[in-house]
């Protein structure tokens, strides 16, 4: 989704140290670090000391904008600026539609969608404003300009404009008679401000700031900020100045760099053993049992509801399926898994007291946020399983369990997913203990495996890239791939299938193995790859039958199995043996095989692994 960067230089500090980077460079570097969010055009606006604002836009990549501006004298001598990567919603990805947009006194960049922009446009055209783009953003720009001309007061102009706006937004605004200042506000869209030695920063996500400062503040909906180089001043929705504190984030500066890996996705897959270990160890008490007191969740909470509703999107929903399987199998608590975009209109029936669990790596997914609000409206207690500290969903949940995976930059989630499943696995154990469904001994062994055997098994898979490359060679020549499995293997298969299709663009589907013959078997023909996930011996007989069904149609069968799952020679064309872990944990492990398979396949096909076409990280529009 769109990305915002802003910087207002502290001129006196910069002159004193003589070390200040150019405003243009800071903004362009910020845009590079937000590229992972997905975008199709980019732009930058820089102000000089007299308030003269220079805007340059490109309908291409940030690199093009970088070249277009590197020798631009006005860009290089600026004192303050805002920049943007646009992910087209209203209007095609053209230069005219790229941000920043300008009116007579105002230049802005915007993330989000203004729902009532058609009415606003009519109103503003009536006032004589002429529109140069097809965007909803330009209405906001002219609206603020109109209000500013009435009051000459930026706070009043912004406050009055917000009264008109319906929808979601993060806005960074420059007024051409207030050089050196950036004004900002937000509603249901991420925005972070920060203060460094060189000046004040603004961005839609942490990676854009990591090289400058790790002291950040996330404004609440409706708050208004002024960054004036030396300091950040905060106002509430009524325009009253307000105190606030920056919070320190402990993400490593290198976390937003590839550190020698060719792609962020590969780097993030290699980070999974540590990420899972960290996420789990953090929540295993000295007694070796799950302990969520680090998240501020009292033990009584786990006995305070009758059912769970999971709400999430994409891979987070796939993590939710695994979570449902574990919670129902181990703790016998009923769980529904709900696609957030559907939930807000049609939540399932509520069974007794309900805990709503919102799962989101970014913590900013608009559909998940809306579903969380719906769940709260219906009286649910809410808990978030979130990676990004202080994000919107984290702030609106009654309880938050951070996955602590560090920044995830590749659009396709990897460590985000596995750490979500790790937290859900601990929740299942905690509930099973709280409800007397698991003995202490069983829980101790379960937690020990999750903390040690599972990260080790993930590490083992990352060391076997050559084997996986061989499988990828075969897959990369096909048009369709099917993943089949039963129980947890089916749920893992759904995520495996998404990974493959989203980054390699090879069509792929996942089926409960027993379901294939109810229609989809018609698509299996000679050499169609079928990847059978077989990790729990309990399913051997039935999987055997399902595998023979597809083998009888001459498919290419790749068996991904645990060592103990019977695997006679004639069973498969090729096989990949997973390291042994208890069957309940195989979805965390087998998915890593599929992440690497998808990665190697995409690389062989020359796909843009970290930025798959049409996709965006952190989907902040509904
Ligand atoms: C797929 C993927 C997406 C996200 C989904 C939810 O690889 O990354 O399906 O899982 O957009 O995102 P979050 O977890 O940020 O809410």
336, HSE (Cβ side, Cα atoms, 13 Å): 19
Residue 416 structure tokens: 């985000």
| Spatial distance between the Cα atoms of 509 and 396, rounded to a whole number of angstroms | 34
Cα torsion angle, 259, 261, 265, 268, sign: negative
Q: What is the pLDDT of residue 615?
A: 86
Distance 4 CA to ligand 1 centre (A): 20
Q: How far is CA 439 from CA 306, 323, 427, in A?
A: 21, 20, 15
For 512-544, the pLDDT digits (tens) are 999 998 988 899 999 999 999 999 989 999 999
Residue with tokens 């009758």: 306
Q: What is the end-to-end Cα distance of the chain in Å, rounded?
A: 12
Q: What is the pLDDT of residue 18?
A: 62
Residue with tokens 């089926």: 511
Say which DSSP state 450 is in: I
Distance 403 CA to ligand 1 centre (A): 14
Query: How many residues are given for the chain?
Result: 622
Q: What is the pLDDT of residue 306?
A: 96
Residue 518 structure tokens: 């109810």
Atom number, ligand 1, closest to the C-alpha of residue 314: 9
Distance 276 CA to ligand 1 centre (A): 18
Distance 554 CA to ligand 1 centre (A): 35
Residue 252 has pLDDT above 80, yes or no: no
Q: Which has the higher per-residue pLDDT, 36 or 582?
A: 582
| Spatial distance between the Cα atoms of 421 and 312, rounded to a whole number of angstroms | 13
Report the nearest-CA residue for atom 7 of ligand 1: 412
Which residues does ligand 1 sit against, CB inside 6 Å?
A: 313-316, 360-362, 365, 368, 412-413, 416, 498, 502, 618-619
Q: What is the pLDDT of residue 17?
A: 63
Q: Domains of the chain by range and CATH? A: 3-254 (3.60.20.10), 261-460 (3.40.50.10490), 464-607 (3.40.50.10490)
Mutate to test the pocket of ligand 1, among 38, 269, 316 (most ligand atoms within 8 A of CB): 316
pLDDT-based confidence at residue 253 (cuts at 50, 70, 90): low
Residue 152's CB is within 10 A of a number of other CB atoms, namely: 11
For 256-288, the pLDDT digits (tens) are 678 889 999 999 999 999 999 999 999 999 999
Distance 362 CA to ligand 1 centre (A): 8
Q: What is the pLDDT of residue 574?
A: 95
User: Which strands, in side-by-side order, build the sheet including 241-242?
Assistant: 101-102, 106-114, 167-175, 182-187, 224-227, 232-235, 241-242
Distance 618 CA to ligand 1 centre (A): 7
**What is the helix, strand, coil percentage profile of the chain, to 5?**
40, 20, 35
Q: Which has the higher per-residue pLDDT, 255 or 473?
A: 473
Atom number, ligand 1, closest to the C-alpha of residue 499: 7
Average pLDDT in the 548-570 region?
A: 92
Q: What is the pLDDT of residue 16?
A: 66
| Spatial distance between the Cα atoms of 553 and 480, rounded to a whole number of angstroms | 15
For 500-514, the pLDDT digits (tens) are 999 999 999 999 999
Say which DSSP state 381 is in: E
Say which DSSP state 348 is in: P
Is the full-model pTM beyond 0.85? Answer: no
> What is the percentage of the chain residues whose pLDDT exceeds 90?
78
Cβ neighbours of residue 608 closer than 8 Å, sequence gap 6 or more: none
Active site residues: 2, 617
Residue 51 has pLDDT above 70, yes or no: yes
Atom number, ligand 1, closest to the C-alpha of residue 315: 10
Residue 289 structure tokens: 């049992």
Atom number, ligand 1, closest to the C-alpha of residue 368: 16
Report the nearest-CA residue for atom 1 of ligand 1: 412
Cβ neighbours of residue 181 closer than 8 Å, sequence gap 6 or more: 8, 80, 154, 174, 175, 226, 227, 228
| Spatial distance between the Cα atoms of 65 and 59, rounded to a whole number of angstroms | 9
For 124-143, the pLDDT digits (tens) are 999 999 999 999 999 999 99
Residue 74 has pLDDT above 90, yes or no: no
Mutate to test the pocket of ligand 1, among 188, 315, 394 (most ligand atoms within 8 A of CB): 315
Residues β-bridged to residue 399: 383
Atom number, ligand 1, closest to the C-alpha of residue 317: 10
H or E segment at 135?
Answer: none
Atom number, ligand 1, closest to the C-alpha of residue 417: 10
Burial of 275 (0-12, 13-18, 19+ CB in 10 A): buried
Distance 414 CA to ligand 1 centre (A): 10
Residue 250 has pLDDT above 80, yes or no: no
Mutate to test the pocket of ligand 1, among 37, 269, 312, 314 (most ligand atoms within 8 A of CB): 314
Cβ neighbours of residue 440 closer than 8 Å, sequence gap 6 or more: 289, 433
For 450-464, the pLDDT digits (tens) are 999 999 999 999 999
Residue 491's CB is within 10 A of a number of other CB atoms, namely: 27
Q: What is the pLDDT of residue 12?
A: 73
Residue 110 has pLDDT above 90, yes or no: yes
Distance 600 CA to ligand 1 centre (A): 21
| Spatial distance between the Cα atoms of 138 and 415, rounded to a whole number of angstroms | 38
Report the nearest-CA residue for atom 3 of ligand 1: 314
Give the Cα-Cα-Cα angle 402, 405, 408 (nearest 5 degrees): 115
Report the nearest-CA residue for atom 5 of ligand 1: 314
Distance 361 CA to ligand 1 centre (A): 7
Report the nearest-CA residue for atom 11 of ligand 1: 314
Contact status, residue 249 vs residue 206, Cβ threshold 8 Å: yes
Contact status, residue 528 vs residue 478, Cβ threshold 8 Å: yes
Distance 315 CA to ligand 1 centre (A): 5
Strand-strand pairing, 41-47 and 80-86:
antiparallel
Provide DSSP, 497-520: HHHHHHHH--EEEEEEGGGGGGTG
Q: What is the pLDDT of residue 561?
A: 96
Mutate to test the pocket of ligand 1, among 265, 313, 500 (most ligand atoms within 8 A of CB): 313
Provide DSSP, 185-202: EEESS--EEEE-SSEEEE
Atom number, ligand 1, closest to the C-alpha of residue 313: 6
Closest among 147, 207, 210 to 183, alpha carbons compared: 147
pLDDT-based confidence at residue 617 (cuts at 50, 70, 90): confident
Q: What is the pLDDT of residue 414?
A: 98
Atom number, ligand 1, closest to the C-alpha of residue 412: 7
């Amino acid at each position: 989704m769109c990305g915002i960067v802003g910087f207002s230089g502290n001129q006196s500090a910069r002159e004193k140290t003589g070390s200040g980077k150019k405003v243009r460079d800071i903004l362009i570097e910020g845009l590079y670090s937000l590229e992972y969010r997905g975008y199709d055009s980019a732009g930058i606006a820089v102000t000089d000391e007299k308030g003269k604002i220079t805007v340059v836009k490109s309908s291409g990549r940030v690199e093009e904008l970088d070249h277009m501006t590197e020798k631009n004298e006005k860009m290089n001598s600026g004192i303050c600026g805002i920049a943007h990567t646009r992910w087209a919603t209203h209007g095609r990805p053209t230069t005219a539609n790229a941000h920043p947009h300008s009116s007579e006194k105002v230049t802005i960049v915007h993330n989000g969608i203004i729902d009532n922009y058609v009415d606003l446009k009519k109103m503003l055209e009536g006032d004589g404003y002429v529109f140069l783009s097809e965007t909803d953003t330009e209405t906001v720009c002219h609206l603020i300009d109109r209000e500013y001309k009435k009051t000459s007061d930026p706070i009043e102009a912004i406050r009055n404009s917000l009264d008109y706006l319906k929808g979601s937004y993060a806005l960074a605004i420059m007024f051409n008679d207030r050089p050196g200042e950036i004004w900002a506000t937000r509603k249901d869209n991420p925005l972070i401000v920060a203060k460094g030695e060189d000046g004040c920063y603004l961005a839609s996500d942490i990676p854009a700031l990591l090289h400058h400062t790790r002291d950040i503040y996330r404004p609440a909906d409706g708050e208004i900020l002024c960054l004036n180089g030396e300091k950040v001043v905060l106002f509430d929705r009524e325009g009253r100045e307000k105190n606030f504190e920056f919070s320190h984030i402990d993400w490593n500066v290198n976390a937003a760099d590839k550190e020698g890996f060719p792609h962020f996705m590969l780097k993030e897959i290699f980070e999974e053993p540590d990420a899972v270990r960290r996420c789990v160890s953090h929540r295993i008490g000295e007694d070796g049992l799950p302990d969520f007191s680090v998240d501020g969740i009292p033990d009584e909470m786990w006995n305070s509801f009758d059912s769970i509703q999971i709400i999430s999107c994409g891979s987070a929903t796939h993590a939710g399926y695994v979570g449902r399987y574990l919670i129902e199998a181990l703790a016998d608590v009923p769980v529904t898994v709900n696609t957030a975009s559907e939930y807000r209109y049609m939540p399932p029936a509520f069974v007794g007291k309900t805990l709503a669990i919102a799962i989101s790596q970014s913590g900013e997914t608009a559909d998940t946020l809306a579903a969380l609000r719906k769940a709260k409206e219906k009286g649910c207690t809410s808990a978030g399983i979130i990676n990004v500290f202080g994000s919107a969903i984290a702030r609106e949940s009654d309880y938050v369990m951070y996955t602590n995976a560090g920044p995830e930059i590749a659009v396709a989630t990897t460590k985000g997913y596995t750490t979500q499943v790790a937290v859900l696995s601990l929740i299942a154990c905690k509930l099973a203990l709280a409800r007397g469904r698991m003995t202490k001994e069983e829980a101790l062994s379960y937690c020990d495996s999750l903390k040690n055997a599972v990260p080790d098994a993930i590490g083992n898979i990352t060391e076997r890239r050559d084997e996986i490359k061989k499988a990828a060679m075969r897959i990369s020549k096909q048009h369709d791939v099917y993943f089949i499995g039963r129980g947890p293997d089916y749920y893992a298969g759904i995520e495996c299938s998404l990974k493959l299709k989203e980054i390699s663009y090879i069509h792929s589907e996942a089926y409960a193995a027993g379901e294939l013959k109810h229609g989809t078997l018609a698509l299996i023909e000679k050499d169609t790859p079928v990847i059978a996930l077989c990790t729990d011996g309990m399913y051997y007989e039935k999987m055997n039958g399902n595998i023979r069904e597809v083998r009888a149609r001459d498919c290419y069968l790749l068996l991904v199995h645990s060592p103990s799952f019977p695997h006679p020679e004639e069973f498969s064309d090729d096989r990949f043996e997973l390291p042994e872990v208890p069957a309940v944990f195989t979805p965390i492990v087998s998915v890593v095989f599929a992440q690497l398979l998808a990665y190697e396949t995409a690389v062989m096909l020359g796909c843009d692994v970290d930025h798959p076409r049409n996709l965006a990280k952190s989907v902040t529009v509904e």
